[in-house]
């Protein structure tokens, strides 16, 4: 699972994160309430583990916000003896369970394992119900982030109407998938879905494909040809890359949108067509209108209901879900897993090619893994220098446990030097007992400097 761990005590956070990641979970750590609330919005975790007492409003605020965003998401509370009553009250408000300090990490892992099995069954049931209720109207879309929820809500709202929709988004964000989702959720779902890319054909061929032609309309017109508008009768017509449509064709398209009529090339017969039009653009059409390469009147005919698809870099919390979906699609039935460093690289990479680029990377990794069942960083590395930034950070950042251990040794040495080697004063300065100080000095191989002579009456030994 993807787990949000909200814990301000560094020692607990580090050791628990290690245990969770070793068990195969992906951990997002928040050090206070504000970070936890932000992570809930951006990372869409499967589960939340939060301390009740943290800087800010505390774990109760995290619980409330998690319930507002996703009432089915389980929240496990960490509580001290003084806050047990508060934890019980939190369970009345929807928390999954609580665990009292001090605890063994294994205790939390057992609760999460049981929770993961339960969550898996719930997700399967939800998926089945959604497919039965909506006939897979969002087929091909994967995501639980806030930007994607907004997309799903807009599709659900506009699909039952016949309003023209303009889908805006960068290349690779899934514009055709969105158009198909609108069609599948509409009253035209039983009709055809016809698509054409305005960027794929030159002007003469594009016009012929859109409107059709009569026999003899031009040199190679040896028989009549039904255009895409006719083929889409009773269904949805998808105009992809409309920002690349030539001005001459834009004039004729405007009439189709206004009157739902057209003539084939070489014909004077006006034909009517019952279609729903969905268009997509990778460039801001308002800019093209100002540049004079796109008709303003056509823009207003198309821009009835805008649907903005977010780039993948703005919905990194969906990357693990997308990866799992793509593994099932391209893994050949193998139970493939993604290593922790590989998943971290996938989430860190900016994905200029968006979901399409991610799918290519996962498909390539599944092929390069051979007989192995785990996708590692080296499987994800195409011969592409842009990936280096996503993986080199792993090498630059040292493990937190190593850094903390090194700093602990330095503090002990500094404290011993400051007290002239007196262990009692050193322990007091560090806020630990003499026994703990002695154990840590032995563990780090630290030798105390020769103690300075003590003043009379102090009665303490070095």
Residue pLDDT, tens place only, 332-360 = 777 788 877 788 888 888 888 899 999 98
For residue 128, pLDDT over 70 is answered with no
- What average pLDDT does this structure show over 169-196? 93
Task: Please state the rounded mean pLDDT for residues 375-387.
Answer: 66
Residue 305, pLDDT score:
93
Separation of alpha carbons 35 and 300, rounded Å? 42
Its pTM stands at 0.56
Distance CA 426, CA 434 (A): 8
What is the reported pLDDT for 294?
A: 94
Tell me which architecture the domain covering 146-310 has in CATH.
3-Layer(aba) Sandwich (3.40)
Q: How many residues in total does the chain contain?
A: 462
By the 8 A CB rule, do 96 and 87 touch?
no
Query: pLDDT higher for 401 or 154?
Result: 154
The larger pLDDT score, comparing residue 374 to residue 390, is at 374
Quick: pLDDT tens for 412-452: 888 888 888 888 888 888 888 888 888 888 888 888 766 54
Domains 313-394 and 398-462 share a fold: no
Higher pLDDT, 380 or 83: 380
pLDDT at 457: 42
- Each as own residue / partner, the long-range contacts of residues 79-85 (CB below 8 Å, 24 or more positions apart, any chain) are 79/51, 79/52, 80/52, 80/53, 83/52, 83/53
Structural domain spans, the chain: 2-125, 146-310, 313-394, 398-462
Whether the CB-CB separation of 420 and 429 falls below 8 Å is answered with: no
Token pair 């698509």 is at which residue? 195
316 vs 131 pLDDT, higher one? 316
Contact partners, residue 337, CB within 8 Å, separation at least 6: 24, 373, 374, 375
Highest mean pLDDT among 59-63, 101-105, 119-123 belongs to: 59-63
Question: Both tokens of residue 426?
Answer: 């050193």
Q: What is the pLDDT of residue 346?
A: 85
What pLDDT score was predicted for residue 253? 92
Structure confidence by residue, pLDDT tens digits, 213-246: 888 777 777 888 898 999 999 999 999 999 999 9
Q: Give domain 2-125's CATH architecture.
A: 3-Layer(aba) Sandwich (3.40)
Range of lowest pLDDT (106-110, 263-267, 305-309, 378-382): 378-382
Question: What would the CATH number be for the domain defined by 313-394?
Answer: 1.10.8.60
Residue given tokens 């932000």 in the structure block:
38
Architecture of domain 398-462: Orthogonal Bundle (1.10)
The predicted model gives 87-105 an average pLDDT of 79
Tell me the β-bridge partners of 99. Answer: 78
Average pLDDT score over the chain: 82
Instruction: Give the rounded percent of residues in the chain with a pLDDT score beyond 70.
Output: 86
Q: Using CA atoms, how far apart are residues 83 and 198, in angstroms rounded to an integer?
A: 63
Number of neighbouring beta carbons within 10 Å of residue 172: 20
**3-state per-residue secondary structure call for the chain:** CEEEEECCCHHHHHHHHHHHHHCCCEEEEECCHHHHHHHHHHHCCCEEEEECCCCCCCHHHHHHHHHHHCCCCCEEEEECHHHHHHHHHHHHCCCCEEEECCCCHHHHHHHHHHHHHHHHHHHHHHHHHHHHHHCCCCCCCCCCCHHHHHHHHHHHHHCCCCCCEEEECCCCCCHHHHHHHHHHCCCCCCCCEEEEECCCCCHHHHHHHHHEECCCCCCCCCCCEECHHHHCCCCEEEEECHHHCCHHHHHHHHHHHHHCEECCECCCCCEECCCEEEEEECCCHHHHHHHCCCCHHHHHHHCCEEEECCCHHHCHHHHHHHHHHHHHHHCCCCCCEECHHHHHHHHHCCCCCHHHHHHHHHHHHHHHCCCCCEECHHHHCCCCHHHHHHHHHHHHCCCHHHHHHHHHHHHHHHHHHHCCCCHHHHHHHHCCCHHHHHHHHHHHCCCCCCCCCCCCCCCCCC
């Amino acid at each position: 699972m993807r787990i949000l761990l909200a814990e301000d005590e560094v020692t607990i956070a580090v050791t628990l994160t290690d245990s969770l990641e070793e068990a195969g979970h992906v951990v997002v750590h928040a050090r206070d309430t504000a970070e936890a609330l932000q992570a809930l919005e951006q990372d869409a975790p499967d589960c939340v583990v939060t301390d009740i007492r943290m800087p800010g409003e505390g774990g109760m605020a995290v619980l409330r916000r998690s319930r507002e965003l996703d009432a089915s998401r389980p929240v496990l509370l960490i509580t001290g003896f003084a806050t047990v009553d508060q934890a019980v009250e939190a369970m009345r408000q929807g928390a999954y369970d609580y665990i009292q300090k001090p605890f063994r990490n294994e205790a939390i892992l057992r609760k999460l394992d049981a929770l993961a099995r339960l969550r898996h069954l719930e997700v399967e049931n939800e998926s089945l119900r959604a497919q039965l209720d909506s006939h897979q109207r969002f087929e091909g879309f994967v995501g639980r982030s806030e930007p994607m929820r907004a997309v799903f809500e807009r599709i659900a709202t506009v699909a039952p109407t016949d309003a023209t929709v303009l889908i805006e988004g960068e290349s690779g964000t899934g514009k055709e998938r969105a158009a198909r989702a609108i069609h599948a959720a509409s009253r035209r779902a039983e009709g055809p879905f016809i698509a054409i890319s305005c960027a794929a054909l030159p002007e003469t061929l594009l016009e012929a494909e859109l409107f059709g032609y009569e026999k003899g309309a031009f040199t190679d017109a040896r028989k009549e040809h039904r255009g895409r508008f006719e083929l889409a009768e009773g269904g949805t017509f998808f105009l992809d890359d409309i920002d690349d449509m030539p001005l001459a064709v834009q004039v004729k398209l405007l009439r189709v949108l206004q009157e739902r009529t057209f003539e084939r090339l070489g014909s004077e017969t006006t034909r009517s067509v019952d279609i729903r039009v969905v268009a997509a653009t990778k460039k801001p059409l308002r800019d093209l209108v100002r540049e004079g390469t796109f008709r303003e009147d056509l823009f207003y005919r198309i821009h009835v209901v805008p649907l903005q698809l977010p780039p993948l870099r703005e919905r990194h919390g969906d990357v693990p879900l997308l990866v799992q979906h793509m593994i099932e699609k391209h893994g050949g039935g193998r139970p493939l897993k993604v290593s922790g460093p590989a998943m971290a690289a996938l989430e860190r990479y900016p994905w200029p090619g968006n979901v399409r680029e991610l799918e290519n990377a996962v498909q390539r990794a599944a092929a390069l893994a051979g007989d192995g069942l785990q996708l590692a960083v080296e499987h994800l590395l195409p011969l592409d220098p842009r990936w280096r930034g996503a993986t080199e950070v792993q090498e630059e950042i040292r493990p937190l446990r190593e850094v903390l251990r090194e700093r602990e040794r330095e503090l002990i040495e500094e404290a011993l030097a400051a007290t002239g080697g007196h262990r009692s004063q050193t322990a007091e300065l560090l806020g630990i007992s003499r026994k703990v100080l002695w154990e840590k000095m032995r563990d780090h191989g630290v030798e105390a400097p020769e103690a300075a002579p003590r003043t009379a009456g102090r009665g303490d030994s070095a």
